[in-house]
Amino acid sequence: MNHSTQTHTTPQGFGPSTTPRLSIPERDAMTTAQRAAADAIINGPRKAIFGPFVPLLQTPALMERIGKTGEALRFEGTLPDRLRELAICTVARETGNQFEWQTHAPLAIKAGVAVQAIESLAAGRRPQPLLPDEECVVDFVTELMRRHGVSDATYEASVACFGKPQTVELTALAGYFAMVCWIMNVARTPGPAGSATPGLTAFPA
């Protein structure tokens, strides 16, 4: 199968070199474990190998487990779509990851997050306008990403908004997407082909 495409993609990274480091091997070059892991993703809700699963195909056992965790968080989680997508966008902005940003920014808008909020988040500013529960998500995820933990005030605000179970789910969601963003950042996995969403630029100095 031929994975080459002429469709435009946004390169990953803001440095002088953005050439992807890992790509999908041809099927006849895959190991048995790689083919099985690829088929599991293709036959699941994602339907194709893309984004973090391109580099993760190098470690098929890990890819399978990470894929199932992502499916549980995205497709079986209890957070509303609007808040889940905003949390993912916040992680993508904090990690500078093009793929997750270009994938989830339009989903966040479709789910009800204000266009202006997504545009300001893309520019590295605090997103506005936000609803009160969206404020809780942005505060929690931004602090978690920058400080690797949250203050008592931020934790208590999240519990007041969502309760303890969803606060744990929000933490797991942020951690999962931070992980896959870092994997793609290392692999220089580009943004999705043909995306109409502008790519991220580096944070202002």
pLDDT at 204: 59
Q: Convert the pLDDT of each residue in 127-173 to its tens digit.
A: 999 999 999 999 999 999 999 999 999 999 999 999 999 999 999 99
Q: Structure tokens of 21?
A: 């480091």
Are residues 56 and 93 both part of a single domain?
no
Asked if residue 193 belongs to a domain, the reply is no
List the alpha helices (DSSP H) in 57-151. Answer: 60-75, 81-95, 98-111, 115-122, 132-147
Q: Are 145 and 94 in contact (CB under 8 A)?
A: yes
Here the CATH number for the domain that contains residue 103 is 1.20.1290.10
Does residue 125 share a domain with residue 68? no
pTM for the model: 0.90
Whether residue 102 sits in one domain with residue 154: yes
pLDDT of residue 120: 96
The verdict on residue 183 lying in a domain is yes
Are 91 and 180 contained in the same domain? yes
Both tokens assigned to 145: 């990403």
In contact, 142 and 36? CB cutoff 8 Å: no
> In the structure, what pLDDT confidence band is assigned to residue 106 with cuts at 50, 70 and 90?
very high
Distances (CA, A) of 197 to 8, 66, 99, 102: 12, 26, 10, 6
The per-residue pLDDT for range 4-34, each reduced to its tens digit, is 444 688 889 777 788 889 988 888 899 999 9
Q: What is the DSSP letter of 193?
A: T
8 Å CB contact between 176 and 155: no
User: How confident is the prediction for the chain on average, in pLDDT?
Assistant: 91
- % helix, strand, coil for the chain, step of 5: 60, 0, 40
Residue range 48-67: mean pLDDT, rounded: 90
Quote the tokens at residue 25.
């091997």
Assess if residue 37 is contained within a domain: yes
How far apart, in whole angstroms, are the C-alpha atoms of residue 184 and residue 71? 18
- 102 is in which domain, residue-wise? 81-187
Instruction: Collect all residues with Cβ–Cβ distance below 8 Å to 99 and sequence separation of at least 6.
Output: 12, 51, 52, 181, 184, 189, 190, 191, 192
Q: Does residue 119 sit in the same domain as residue 139? A: yes
Say which residue, 203 or 169, is predicted with more confidence.
169
In a domain, 3, yes or no: no
Residue 1 has pLDDT above 80, yes or no: no
103 and 86 housed in the same domain: yes
